[in-house]
Amino acid sequence: MPFGIARTHLTNPPLIHFMLPVLERITAHPDSPELDNLIDLVKALRPHPAQEEPVTSLRTLTDLLQAHPQHAAALRYYLLQLLCTRRQTSLFTDIGILSNDGFFSELHRRLSYRILPPALDDRYLPDCLEKILPYNTDYLWIQAIPTADWNALLDVLQRADSELPTASTKPDEQKTLTEMLLAIQILSYRISAIGMEPELIRIYSEIKAFESPFLMQNVELHTYLNGYMRHLQGDPTPIEDASHVFVMLDQCQEVVKKIRKSTLRLGTSISVTYRLVRLDQHLDRLQKLLALVDVGPEISGDADPATLQLRIENRRKVGLDLALELVEAHNRKYTVRELFADNINLLARNVTENASRTGEHYIADSRSEYTAMYRSAAGAGFIIGGMAMLKILISYLRAAPLVEAFLFSMNYSFGFMLIHVLHFTVATKQPAMTASRIAADLHSRDGRNIDLDSLIELVVKVIRTQFVAVLGNLSIAFPVAYLLALGYFGLTGHHFVNTDKALHLLHDIDPFSSLALFHAAIAGVCLFLAGLISGYYDNKALYTRMSQRVRRARWLNRLLGRNRTARLGDYLETGLGGLMGNFYFGILLGTIGTIGFIIGLPIDIRHITFSAANFAIAMVALDHATTWKMIAVSGFGVIAIGTVNLWVSFSLALFVAMRSRQVRFRHGIPLLKGLLARFLKKPLDFFLPPANVGTASMPEDNIKSS
């Protein structure tokens, strides 16, 4: 008995029991185009729960084929027969490539097919895969098998004799090659069409030229394919190599990179992002298929034996990689997460890039900038003190829940928008911006060779700028609310809130006996969302050329005059994100409590500056008849609420910014050690900037709210 069979019988007799009957059926009818035998063979290869490694099944099959050459020949003949009787082109042109329908149509298609799968047609190879590999996790065990074992199986099949006495027909072994060439032609035409889309031309106008690589690659490929097809039809002229086509495809990829860089400056949209992803997928697939069919130097004999062997091995590797890629893409073709991962990351990159540029204004380097940040935050604290009083007045109206939510939202929204217009700073709005700035600094070094000293210095600057912003907000919001409440009592003779309301305000900021910290985390999520919204509208204003659109509005020119309209357009192009971010942030703060009341869930928001103002109002209403314990707990509650606000919004913003830049930061522990060492050495650097050196100073106007 051959050694391979002896080994498999000793180690895996159950696998032999499953596989051998299937191979015997294939040997009996090798020219049958039915899928049943292949489905059974894959079922035998698929690892069972009791089996530790999927490679065991494949090695068992390889041993069986080595021991029984007639089974190997029959299996090779059977697989070729299956391929030559199926249409393969769509497998290469559609599987793993987004459709031309657009993002939302593709999303709807995937969701609908997950609920009600499409009908199958065995004439098409992708539909055959649906039956052969029906489980969404099949690609995992297939990819877990080492490349060497797949190559061993392919070697056994390649050495097998395909001439079988029981076979009535001979399969067309060039069928797959012909289908690949057709797929290459289709992919090339699609690349030309996508590359000349008006939206892409508007972003990068140089591709308008007739010599566009998206057009020229099709010209080069057409010449290459004509020669290839003539050779297959018997023309003795050797096949040319595809080097010229590869050069043009490389140029196409360079243009795609330039378009992506331009979108960071000019903005982007879901449609543009979707097209860029499709273009990348087509270029990648076309290069792989070309690498598989490019046999010109091998046929002509121009290459030396070593180079020839290297080319053959490389083609085998590319073919195996493409096969594994197609299997995974087939198993995940209805996965919604993959669609979002391919598209949203690119869109989020543009959104967070705008937030990163805004974040630079939130980092104070010198003492003059530090002082300017305090004044900016103090101005915001003054307005928020008044907003807290106005919110309590609105609550006295006892309006219907939705009306009350609307009034609360308008109070927050217009207050925050006023803060933005006056170039004041809300401290809790900083983390969403500074996180993007830190992620941008990580990305500049590709997340690997990071200059930790520079990163530590940046984090220290962010911490002390955040500290002075919080100090500016609280040091003014508390006394303003206190004086307003005291003035109200002096004018009217009764307190702004009664005793029960005052105790309720204090209970709301108690971190031990209420859900204050949970509500603060919800506010942190709102702050994070406001940062994304701000970046989204900044991107939208750039992409739609908001300034030019406003200038062309005739009704605005008649209403404001040409000069004022032009200034308004310029302001909106640079400040629309800040305005809309603050507007929607106010909507979120004003409606979450009412939503919680309507649906019966204990959800609400707690914001550090408003909590400090409410603390001051409650102190006046209680005539300062509070214990030191209550004061300490309330003061600690305000600080704890602020800490949760900042930490949640910063963590979420940093996570999204790093994911959008595809940064994997592995230097967390060295960074923490460096920050601790810096704190022990120079603790004041975390709270006060060093004395000004030189003349570098950022104008106060640059420190502004988002």
State residue 705's pLDDT score.
40
Give the pLDDT confidence of 310-360 residue by residue, as tens digits. Answer: 877 888 899 999 999 999 999 888 888 777 766 666 566 556 555 545 544
Q: How many CA atoms lie within 13 A of 291 on its CB side?
A: 20
| CA-to-CA separations, 60 to 17, 217, 327, 599, 640, in angstroms, rounded | 11, 45, 22, 59, 62
Fill in the amino acid letter for 80: L
pLDDT tens, residue by residue, 28-71: 887 777 888 999 999 888 887 655 577 888 888 998 899 888 99
Residue 10, in any domain of the structure: yes
pLDDT digits (tens, 9 = 90+) for 115-127: 888 888 888 999 9
Nearest to 459 by CA among 704, 671, 658, 642: 671
Q: Which helix (H) or strand (E) holds 666?
A: none
- C-beta contacts of 322-328 below 8 A and 24+ residues apart: 322/288, 322/289, 322/292, 324/139, 324/142, 324/143, 325/96, 326/91, 326/92, 326/95, 326/96, 327/129, 327/133, 327/138, 327/139, 327/142, 327/143, 328/96, 328/139, 328/143
pTM: 0.69
pLDDT tens digits, 154-206: 999 888 865 555 555 566 668 888 999 999 999 999 999 998 888 888 887 77
Identity (one letter) of the amino acid at 402? L
Q: Which two tokens stand for residue 494?
A: 């009764």
Residue 105 lies in a domain: no
d(Cα 100, Cα 117) in Å, to the nearest integer?
Answer: 20
Boundary residue ending a domain (147, 163, 179): 163
Tell whether the model's pLDDT for residue 133 goes beyond 70.
yes
d(CA 512, CA 63): 68
More confident residue, 16 or 49: 16
pLDDT tens sequence across 198-255: 888 888 777 655 578 999 999 999 999 998 888 888 887 778 888 889 999 999 999 9
Q: What is the pLDDT of residues 544-593, one digit of tens each?
A: 888 889 999 999 999 999 999 999 999 888 888 889 989 999 999 999 99
Give 8's pLDDT tier (boundaries 50, 70, 90): very low
Question: Which of 148, 163, 178 is the last residue in one of the domains?
Answer: 163
Whether 609 is covered by a domain: the verdict is yes
Q: How confident is the model at residue 5 (pLDDT cuts 50, 70, 90)?
A: very low
Identify the CA nearest to 259 among candidates 276, 280, 282, 281: 276
Name the burial class of residue 545, with classes exposed (0-12), middle (13-18) and buried (19+) by CB atoms within 10 angstroms of its CB: middle
pLDDT in tens, 270-286: 778 888 889 999 999 99
Bridge partners of 124, per DSSP, are 87
Q: What would the two tokens of residue 406 be?
A: 């609307």
Cα dihedral 586→529→648→427 (10° resolution): -50
Average pLDDT, the chain: 83
The mean per-residue pLDDT over the stretch 636-652 comes to 91
Tokens of 366: 């010198």
Residue 438 has pLDDT above 80, yes or no: no
The CB-side HSE value for 14 (13 A sphere, CA atoms) comes to: 8
Which pLDDT value is given to residue 417? 94
Q: Does some domain include residue 320?
A: no
Q: Is the pLDDT of residue 299 over 70?
A: no
Instruction: Classify residue 343: in a domain, yes or no.
Output: no
H/E stretch holding 551 reads helix 546-551
Q: Is 415 exposed, middle or buried (0-12, 13-18, 19+ CB in 10 A)?
A: buried
CA separation (Å) from 546 to 538, 555, 574?
10, 16, 9
Q: At 679, list the tokens.
A: 């704190």
What is the per-residue pLDDT for 364?
Answer: 72
pLDDT tens profile 649-706: 888 877 776 766 655 666 667 778 888 888 888 888 888 887 754 444 444 444 444 3
For the domain that residue 564 is a member of, what is the CATH number? Answer: 1.20.1080.10
pLDDT above 90 (res 483):
yes
Termini Cα distance of the chain: 78
3-state secondary structure of 575: helix
pLDDT for 694: 41
Residue 650 lies in a domain: yes
Is the Cβ–Cβ distance between 524 and 435 less than 8 Å?
no
> What is the Cα–Cα distance from 73 to 164, expressed in whole angstroms?
8
Q: For residue 79, what are the domain limits?
A: 1-85+133-163
With respect to residue 246, please indicate whether it lies within any of the assigned structural domains: no
Res. 11: pLDDT tops 70: no
Tens-place pLDDT, residues 357-403: 554 456 777 788 888 889 999 999 999 999 999 999 999 998 999 99
How many domains does one find in the chain?
A: 2
pLDDT band at 454 (very low <50, low <70, confident <90, very high): confident
Residue 432's pLDDT band (boundaries 50, 70, 90)? low
For residue 406, what pLDDT is reported?
A: 96
CB 428 within 8 Å of CB 645? yes
Q: Over the stretch 492-550, which tens digit does the pLDDT of each residue have?
A: 989 999 999 999 999 999 999 999 999 999 999 998 888 878 878 887 888 888 888 99
The reply to whether 428 falls in a domain is yes
pLDDT at 209: 56
Which pLDDT value is given to residue 51? 58
Whether the predicted pLDDT of 261 surpasses 90: no
Is the distance from CB of 408 to CB of 610 less than 8 angstroms? no
